[in-house]
Structure 1
Amino acid sequence: MSTASATTSRGWIKPVIAAVVIAAIGFGGYTALAKREVAPQLTFISLKGEKITPESLKGKVVMVNFWATSCTTCVGEMPKMVETYNKFKGQGLEFVAVAMSYDPANYVANYAETRQLPFKVALDADGSAAKAYGNVSMTPTTFVIGKDGKILKRYLGEPDFPALHKLLDESLKS
């Protein structure tokens, strides 16, 4: 057998290897998405002193939004978060706005009161909530948690609100 015919007869090897690699990458991506992370089982304390327990959120779609009064993007997105909450609360959406540990409690309370935030606002005084959610340090960071308690989506920065609304609509109906 000549070298040319040996090379030609094995010409199929590279495309097959490429197909196997692409399939493996695709399968890995699928399984990574299929194995969604379970949201931390935390009890938040609201500004009003009420406990927001994992049991009280069980079986509900929940948004957990880490924010700060000193964060321009957070303040800018907050009216859209209020609109989102008001649009979906009748379908069972729960929302917890968690102020970062460095945000003074009186600033958070003043902001929540003057803006008449309709959802629960909690303080993460010791930073334990941010740590439990994967060491959140950038604000805003928003998590959408499904009825099964698993994280459906994590947004760094302001969410794409039409896409967020679609996700909430689908999650609340299931």
Structure 2
Amino acid sequence: MNHPSENPTPETSQASASAARRRWLLLGVGAVAGLGGAGLAAWRLRPGAVKEGAHETLWDASFEDLGGQPLRMASMRGRPLLLNFWATWCPPCVQELPLLNAFYGEHRAKGWQVLGLAIDQPANVQKFLQRVPLDFPVALGGLGGTELSRSLGNDKGGLPFTVMFAADGSISKRKIGQLTAQDLQNWSKSL
């Protein structure tokens, strides 16, 4: 005795082919939607233009370190600098800090500097750093840090935001969003 699946009828074959076409169509639509979403996210997270005078504002700025002492940005000029804007309440910021710390440990002998500019309350930053100590300096950005971030192209004020400066003080790279090890590797080779 034959089972229906052993000898398909033309209607069964057409239904099967039609179902397969629908699956491929849905997969194609899903792929296009995914690529579109990724493109939109990349566009949305693309840094804007650096505002006129932002370089001077940066190198003239001073921020308080966690001990209440001024950290003058001019003192960091002359060597490559990764400036990272972050906050304790920002999960991607917190996730990338160990990566930045490792980068600093590997590259500081080569002249690299890393500065974490916390856009957060001092007590929150101090409490966080007791749990997750960092080897690189951290300063408190406050409103001035937020405005500096915006002037460097972070129009929407998203965090984390990282800017790489060359030894001459010029901006070399910028990224809104979480850094990857690959980003840091590529950036360090670009100078």
2:149 is the alignment partner of 1:133: yes
Deviation at 1:151, TM superposition (A): 0.9
After TM superposition, the structure 1 = structure 2 runs for residues 46-85 of structure 1, keeping only pairs within 5 Å, are 46-85=65-104
**Map of 2:131 onto structure 1:** 114
Amino acid at match of 2:166: G
Deviation at 1:112, TM superposition (A): 1.6
2:174 is the alignment partner of 1:158: no
Number of equivalent positions: 133
Task: Look up the SS of the partner of 1:133 in the other structure.
Answer: helix
**Map of 2:108 onto structure 1:** 89
Name structure 2 gaps, 5 residues minimum. 1-48
For 1:134 and 1:65, the matched residues in 2 are separated by 13
Cα deviations by residue, 1:105-158 (Å, 9 ceiling, x for unpaired): 111011122211111111122x11221232541100011111010111111101
Amino acid at match of 1:148: D
Name structure 1 gaps, 5 residues minimum. 1-31
2:169 is the alignment partner of 1:149: yes
TM value normalised by structure 2: 0.63
**Map of 1:99 onto structure 2:** 118
**Map of 1:7 onto structure 2:** none
For 1:44 and 1:169, the matched residues in 2 are separated by 29
Alpha carbons 1:112, 1:121 under 8 Å: kept: no
Instruction: State, as a whole percentage, how many aligned pairs show the same letter.
Output: 26
For 1:107 and 1:113, the matched residues in 2 are separated by 10
Alpha carbons 1:143, 1:151 under 8 Å: kept: yes
For 2:92 and 2:86, the matched residues in 1 are separated by 9
Deviation at 1:66, TM superposition (A): 0.6
Cα deviations by residue, 1:12-70 (Å, 9 ceiling, x for unpaired): xxxxxxxxxxxxxxxxxxxx9xxxx7362211221123332233112111111111101
After TM superposition, the structure 1 = structure 2 runs for residues 5-44 of structure 1, keeping only pairs within 5 Å, are 38=55, 40-41=58-59, 42-44=61-63
TM value normalised by structure 1: 0.69
**Map of 1:12 onto structure 2:** none
Amino acid at match of 2:121: P
